[in-house]
Structure 1
Amino acid sequence: MLLTPHARTPRRLKAAALLASAVSVCLVAASAPAAPLGVGDRLFPHLGNPGYDVASYDLSFTYPGSNSEPLQAVTTIDAWTTTPLDRINLDFAHGEVESVEVDGEPASFADAGEDLVVTPEEALPSGSWMRITVKHTSDPVSAEDRDGGWVRTTDGLAMANQADAAHLVFPCNDHPSDKAMFTIRITAPDGYTAVANGLPTGVDRAAGATTWTYRTQHPMATELAQVSIGRSTVLHREGPHGLPVRDVVPTKHRKALEPWLEKTPDQISWMESKVGRYPFETYGLLMADADTGFELETQTLSLFERELFTEPAYPKWYVESIMVHELAHQWFGDSVAPASWSDLWLNEGHATWYEALYAEEKAGKSMEARMKAAYGASDRWRAAGGPPAAPKAPDPGQKISIFRPNVYDGAALALYALRQEIGRETFERLERVWVSRHEDGTATTADFVALASEMSGRDLDGFFQDWLYGEKTPPMPGHPDWKSVAPAAKRHGE
């Protein structure tokens, strides 16, 4: 995710609206009160659920032709139990549940916080294969009510599920540590076009409506799911190695946007020259007519605000570098997903790194100058948001506020320090091995530290402890003259 540099105030989640629009599942009596669970994420303690490992999601959405009305939906989850379960907790927090089945048999269900708690007729032993089918609505709500989930566009809908909003769209295990395969079906009235992650596998037309089916060929975190429904045109071109590149644009803006989209194949080739072959089956940009305040690396189909490309105030080199930021995420954050949200710096730091490197190589924008400026602000960023690998919890009502400067340029600054410390050649080999070794998986900060030590032949634990967890910014290797301006001390009573 990259925040768009508009002069806008972050939206605040309204408590009253949240209460009014909270999950409205039907309550069914159970033997004991249902309770929300989580996988223990430091930043989102109730996100995700223990006890099972999802293998695949099958999502079906029926769009009614209005982006203010609920979609009818069916979510089918195939998973393995990892512990004995007499109840199954799913993350789901905005929709009405009609029914739940476990392995084809009706199951009772209840809501608990932002969990949908399912009770099968018989307890499931550890190591069981289970299929959960939930018939529900999927409800778009006003953007002022919350951040993420369904995003209303001028002509339909798109998704923005980072960091914790996929469960506002469909029941799931909504944590990046549990990646799965996805099949997504969207039915919409004639005149609309629907696109989702992965490759198309079928288009079925019936009286007055069309159903599109897409399937991923690589596992994906729930926060990276994408569905676009709108009066759109899908543009096709070829990337390196015959990679299919497809972009989704509002039909009426096609002519203005296509010159930007023509740049993507060369940008993919540039990234491949840095870190190796593109990791997925397709790529493209979804240019949404929406006011999100950010761009988002949804897997194989990155979400962008159309305004980024049509606002003349943004320099050409800047827009292109933002395109590369989201492209870089396909390696860093998508293919290699964070094991916890405290590992977010691995996503955003690397995407910012390649954004800045592209600007340097293609537009002459000095990486060193950018890093020197970041160093000057680093102590303030750490005070406000925490060190890069131990970010502070999100502000109340602003869950996307974990996306602070400390995990963008602050984290890229730590990568710059690492390159200074171990040398350019070793750093570049490290980057390639990192994305190759953890492809299609998840990884932790400790994994990165261990690999950097392995590749450099040195124990770098102390170096990373200071750069990733220190309250103050350490001296920059090779630049002892760089200074970081400490945050102003608070006056008594503030």
Structure 2
Amino acid sequence: MLLTPRSKAFRPKTVRIAVAVLASATSAALLAASAPQPAAPLGIGDRLFPHLGNPGYDVTSYDIAFTYHGDNTKPLDAVTRIDALVTAPLERVNLDFTHGKVRSVDVNGARADFSTAGEDLVVTPHARVQPGERLRIRVRHTSDPVSGKTEGGWVRTADGLAMANQADVAHHVFPCNDHPADKAQFTFRVTAPKGLTAVANGLPVAKKHRAATTTWAYRTRHPMATELAQVSIGRSTVLHRTGPYRLPVRDVVPTKNRKELEPWLKKTPGQIEWMEDKVGRYPFETYGLLVADAQTGFELETQTLSLFEKELFTRPEFPEWYVESIMVHELAHQWFGDSVSPSTWSDLWLNEGHATWYEALYAEEKARQPLEKRMRYAYRLSDRWRATGGPPAAPKGPRPGQKISIFRPVVYDGSALALYALRQEIGRPTFEAVERAWVHTYRDGNATTADFVRLASDISGRDLDTFFDAWLYGKKTPPMPGHPDWTTTAPDTKTAPAKK
């Protein structure tokens, strides 16, 4: 995710606040207590978000049905079905869920007791479940688009709703294991009044008309993290075109703005082709832009259907090259962050550093915005960024009540700077081989910073542990290979990149 600049004057170096995924793949077993224990919120021990996710099971699929009644200030009726594999003995099953009313819970076809603890829905099956067993959980609930002071979830648009679930607010919308380490297949079924259009991640699989409503069904073909889920409901037009290798490209836009947005939308197939030339085939079944008539303040890489606020494309002070580079940033996330998802939130730099890298590289190749100039500018600010937010792979925790505050400049240009240093260190051909191998090796899965270090070392034929330790974990920015004259002196504002 990138923060959309709000100042009247365009500033290409505006600090970005992103949304990327975090996760810890550790599946800690629950206490096998001899006496019943009180319900409590659990987590999988993520360094930055200790209570995020839940131990003891692995979700394989979600099937989520929403019924929207035409008023985006009123709760939706919903049914969430979860299929999971048990990985540890469980007397209770914790799900992440809040800001909705739970009406009933079934486990494997039988009614189950439930309670709440913190932001967890705690479900008690009739009997303890054991490793290797399958869990089929059905939760009947509401999903409230007006949930008080939150940092995401449902986004109310001028004519309906969209989703923005990063970093960990999918559970404000539906019950889930809300951590990127537990990716799963998704099916969405959305019922809305006639005259509205519903679209979700993946490809359409069914559409049924009734007297006053229409129900759409969509299904993903690849596993997805909960924070990348997307459902759009509104007075929208769905536009279709074809990308490289006959990839279906579909855009979802406010019907009234269709003609105004078309000059931007038609650029997507070429951008996909450019990315494929850099890192290989696009990893999913479809792609496109969801343009929301809303003041989100950001753009977001929801899987197969990236969320953009309309204002990005309509504000006259944004140069064309800048808007296109932001489009490429979210597109690049489909490889880096969506297909290859981080295992912990401390691995956030792998998402945002790479998306920023290809954003900057595209601007250099297509609009003559020098990458080296941008990296030198980032180098001068790097020590300041590290002091404020921590080094790229060991970010400081969020401020109290502000989970998205982990998305600081160090995970954007500060992390792209580490990738630039790697290219300087091992050479362009080897660096490009590392990038291609990364998205191929870990496609549809999760990976860690240690995985990236190991892969880069293997491909380069060098032990890069010392190099990465300095660049990813050091409190101070190391010397830049090939540029001994670069300094981390805070820049004069007059030397910032020119407005073009």
> Partner of 1:280: helix, strand, or coil?
coil
CA drift of 1:486 comes to: 6.5
Whole-angstrom CA distance in 2 between matches of 1:347 and 1:214: 26
Contact 1:380 1:485 in 2 (8 A): no
User: Is the aligned partner of 1:42 residue 2:47?
Assistant: yes
Residue 137 of structure 1 aligns to which amino acid in structure 2? T
Whole-angstrom CA distance in 2 between matches of 1:199 and 1:349: 29
Whole-angstrom CA distance in 2 between matches of 1:396 and 1:289: 30
- Any runs of at least 4 consecutive aligned residues in structure 1 with deviations exceeding 2 A, and if so which? 7-10
CA drift of 1:35 comes to: 0.3
Contact 1:185 1:212 in 2 (8 A): yes
Q: Which runs of 5+ in 1 are unaligned?
A: 11-29, 488-494
Name the structure 2 match of 1:464.
468
Residue 94 of structure 1 aligns to which amino acid in structure 2? H
TM-score by length of 2: 0.92
Whole-angstrom CA distance in 2 between matches of 1:451 and 1:123: 41
User: Is the aligned partner of 1:418 residue 2:422?
Assistant: yes
Whole-angstrom CA distance in 2 between matches of 1:402 and 1:253: 34
User: Is the aligned partner of 1:116 residue 2:114?
Assistant: no
Q: Which runs of 5+ in 2 are unaligned?
A: 9-13, 16-34, 492-500
Name the structure 2 match of 1:66.
71
Match of 1:245 among 249, 262, 282: 249
Name the structure 1 match of 2:352.
348
User: Is the aligned partner of 1:228 residue 2:246?
Assistant: no
Whole-angstrom CA distance in 2 between matches of 1:323 and 1:388: 23
Match of 1:174 among 178, 189, 194: 178
Name the structure 1 match of 2:498.
none
Higher relative contact order (CA closer than 8 Å, sequence separation 6+): 2
User: Is the aligned partner of 1:6 residue 2:6?
Assistant: yes
> Partner of 2:199: helix, strand, or coil?
strand
Whole-angstrom CA distance in 1 between matches of 2:366 and 2:425: 25
Whole-angstrom CA distance in 1 between matches of 2:347 and 2:3: 18
Alignment of 1:388-427 (within 5 A): 388-427=392-431
Name the structure 1 match of 2:110.
105
Name the structure 1 match of 2:485.
481
Name the structure 1 match of 2:269.
265
User: Is the aligned partner of 1:194 residue 2:189?
Assistant: no
CA drift of 1:6 comes to: 1.7
Residue 351 of structure 1 aligns to which amino acid in structure 2? A
> Partner of 2:374: helix, strand, or coil?
helix
Alignment RMSD (CA, Å): 1.4
Name the structure 2 match of 1:26.
none
Contact 1:138 1:170 in 2 (8 A): yes
CA drift of 1:138 comes to: 0.3
Q: CA offsets, 1:87-136, max 9 Å, x none?
A: 00000011000000000000000100010000000110111011000000
Whole-angstrom CA distance in 1 between matches of 2:363 and 2:490: 28
Q: CA offsets, 1:148-178, max 9 Å, x none?
A: 1000001000000011110000000000000
TM-score by length of 1: 0.93
Match of 1:54 among 51, 56, 59: 59
Name the structure 2 match of 1:278.
282
Name the structure 1 match of 2:338.
334
Residue 285 of structure 1 aligns to which amino acid in structure 2? L
Contact 1:76 1:131 in 2 (8 A): yes
Q: CA offsets, 1:182-221, max 9 Å, x none?
A: 0000000011000000000010001100000000000000
Name the structure 2 match of 1:450.
454
CA drift of 1:485 comes to: 2.5
CA drift of 1:141 comes to: 1.5
Whole-angstrom CA distance in 2 between matches of 1:449 and 1:343: 12
Residue 111 of structure 1 aligns to which amino acid in structure 2? T
User: Is the aligned partner of 1:299 residue 2:303?
Assistant: yes
